[in-house]
């Protein structure tokens, strides 16, 4: 039973050449060696005028920039950096916390703009990305590149001045990994999924480094928790998008090898249990209470991952993905509480500052 892959060049209404893949009905799964690496060709008959963006409304520009930055994803990434800052040992400073969060968000916005720029021809072939700003020619590539440059420079400066050079270096490294390694690798090798997981594990390191100025074993345990979380998260998301990914020629795990996708999901769900219940307390990332309090969250992740492993379909993958979105903030909050505790003066005063009070009474003295 062999896969018959045909690259059919089609011109779609957005002005991009589309490479449509058709498969035989007896295809068991997509094979690595049969994917084409040929890049779709951009046509210019619907070329955007360089000043067209100046005619957009104020709200239109804001919405365009938000889409270019993938603002929801950037907020999620910034929240993991904020969580890393809160978990780290040391006195919590509101200004440093704000600089870390804002700087990380800007670096993420820059990386996402680069992603838009590099993947526009492929985004035009996927249903869920056909309305992106570069695909529909709302912004020019130069406009997107300028946005990416401004946000990256500003983000790096904020991280350097407001936190420390180590945090800024980690932010610059992550931008390079995302735009220079992960994004192009998606077209050529299944390893892109692991590269993307590394990218997602660095923001909490940035938060940790912003407070401590260094990285220790506890910081890497925190990063590894985020690393392992991304496999059930991304595999649950991507499973129902396999058609889109294959049309664009992306060699992500769910497309190139379904077996690896399922096994990796359950393995990293089990790894989360070990990281939270053993590694985190041993490295003093959290208290021993976290080892027990995190068990229900990890048990649910393992159960949903096992359901996906045994019966990978739209329902099990969707349930896994949705739970992963709930799992991340809950486990981060639990880590903060377990590492700081309600009797931690620094934590209490920080929360009091966020509440807008000018004084910081300490009820524990």
HSE on the CB side for 303, CA within 13 Å? 8
Q: What is the pLDDT of residue 135?
A: 85
49 pLDDT exceeds 60? no
The pLDDT value recorded for residue 93 is: 92
Give the pairing type, strands 17-22 and 6-11. Answer: antiparallel
Q: Give the pLDDT of residue 234.
A: 94
List, for residues 174-193, the tens digit of each pLDDT value. Answer: 999 999 999 999 888 889 99
The DSSP element (H or E) to which 10 belongs, if any, is strand 6-11
Measured CA to CA, the distance from residue 44 to residue 16 in angstroms comes to 8
What is the three-class DSSP state of 342?
coil
Of 25-39, 148-162, 237-251, 300-314, where does mean pLDDT reach its minimum? 25-39
Query: pTM for the full model?
Result: 0.80
Whether the per-residue pLDDT at 351 is higher than 90: the answer is no
Question: Mean per-residue pLDDT for 294-309?
Answer: 97
Whether 349 shows a pLDDT value over 70: the answer reads: no
- Token couple for 173: 């490294």
Least confident of 98-102, 231-235, 239-243, 350-354: 350-354
pLDDT at 16 over 50: no
Q: Express each pLDDT in 20-41 by its tens digit.
A: 333 333 333 434 433 444 444 4
Q: Assess whether pLDDT exceeds 90 at residue 161.
A: yes
Nearest CA to 135 out of 39, 21, 12, 240 is that of: 12
For residue 11, what pLDDT is reported? Answer: 40
pLDDT of residue 352: 55
Query: How much is the pLDDT for 119?
Result: 86
Residue 364 burial class via C-beta count within 10 angstroms: exposed 0-12, middle 13-18, buried 19 and up: exposed
Three-class secondary structure of residue 20 per DSSP: strand
354 pLDDT above the threshold of 60: no
Side-chain half-sphere CA neighbours of 254 within 13 A:
23
Cα dihedral 307, 311, 313, 314 sign: negative
Mean pLDDT of 110-127: 88
**What's the pLDDT band for 52 if we cut at 50, 70, 90?**
low
What gap in Å lies between CA 337 and CA 344, rounded to an integer?
Answer: 10
Report which listed range, 225-229, 247-251, 336-340, 356-360, is most confident: 225-229
- Quick one: pLDDT band at residue 346, thresholds 50, 70, 90? low
Q: Is the pLDDT of residue 43 over 50?
A: no
Please report, for residues 66, 67, 139, 257, 294, the alpha-carbon distance to residue 125 in angstroms, rounded to integers and kept in the order given: 22, 18, 18, 21, 41
pLDDT at residue 17 in the model: 41
pLDDT at 363 over 50: no
Q: How confident is the model at residue 63 (pLDDT cuts 50, 70, 90)?
A: confident
Is 1 a residue whose pLDDT tops 80? Answer: no
* pLDDT cut 70: percent of the chain above it: 77
At residue 7, the pLDDT reads: 37
Please, which residues have CB within 8 angstroms of residue 203's CB and are 6 or more apart in sequence? 77, 78, 80, 81, 84, 104, 108, 174, 226
Reported as a pLDDT band with limits 50, 70 and 90, residue 55 is low
> pLDDT band for position 208 (50/70/90)?
very high
Q: How confident is the model at residue 365 (pLDDT cuts 50, 70, 90)?
A: very low
What pLDDT, in 10s, does the model give residues 76-85?
Answer: 999 999 999 9
């Amino acid at each position: 039973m062999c896969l018959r892959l045909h690259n059919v060049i089609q011109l779609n209404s957005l002005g991009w050449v589309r490479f449509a893949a058709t498969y035989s009905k007896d295809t068991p799964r997509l094979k690595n060696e049969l994917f084409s690496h040929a890049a779709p060709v951009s046509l210019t008959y619907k070329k955007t005028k360089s000043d067209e963006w100046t005619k957009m409304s104020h709200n239109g520009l804001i919405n365009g920039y938000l889409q270019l930055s993938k603002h929801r994803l950037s907020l999620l990434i910034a929240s993991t950096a904020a969580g890393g800052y809160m978990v780290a040992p040391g006195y919590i400073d509101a200004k440093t916390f704000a600089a870390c969060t804002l700087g990380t968000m800007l670096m993420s916005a820059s990386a996402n703009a680069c992603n838009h720029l590099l993947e526009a021809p492929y985004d035009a072939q996927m249903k869920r990305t056909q309305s992106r700003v570069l695909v529909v020619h709302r912004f020019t590539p130069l406009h997107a590149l300028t946005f990416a440059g401004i946000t990256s420079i500003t983000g790096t400066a904020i991280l350097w001045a407001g936190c420390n050079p180590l945090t800024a270096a980690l932010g610059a490294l992550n931008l390079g990994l995302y735009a220079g390694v992960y994004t192009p690798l998606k077209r050529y090798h299944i390893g892109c999924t692991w590269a993307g997981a590394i990218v997602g594990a660095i923001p909490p390191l940035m938060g940790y480094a912003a407070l401590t100025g260094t990285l220790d074993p506890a910081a890497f345990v925190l990063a590894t928790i985020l690393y392992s979380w991304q496999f059930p998260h991304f595999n649950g998301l991507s499973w129902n998008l396999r058609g889109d990914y294959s049309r664009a020629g992306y060699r992500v795990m769910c497309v190139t090898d379904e077996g690896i996708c399922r096994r990796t999901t359950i393995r990293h769900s089990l790894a989360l249990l070990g990281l939270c219940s053993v590694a985190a307390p041993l490295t003093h990332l959290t208290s021993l209470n976290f080892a027990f309090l995190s068990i229900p969250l990890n048990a649910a992740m393992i159960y949903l991952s096992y359901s996906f492993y045994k019966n990978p379909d739209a329902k099990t993958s969707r349930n896994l993905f949705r739970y992963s979105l709930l799992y991340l903030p809950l486990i981060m909050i639990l880590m903060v509480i377990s590492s700081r505790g309600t009797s931690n003066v620094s934590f209490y005063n920080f929360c009091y500052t966020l509440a807008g009070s000018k004084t910081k009474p300490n009820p524990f003295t």
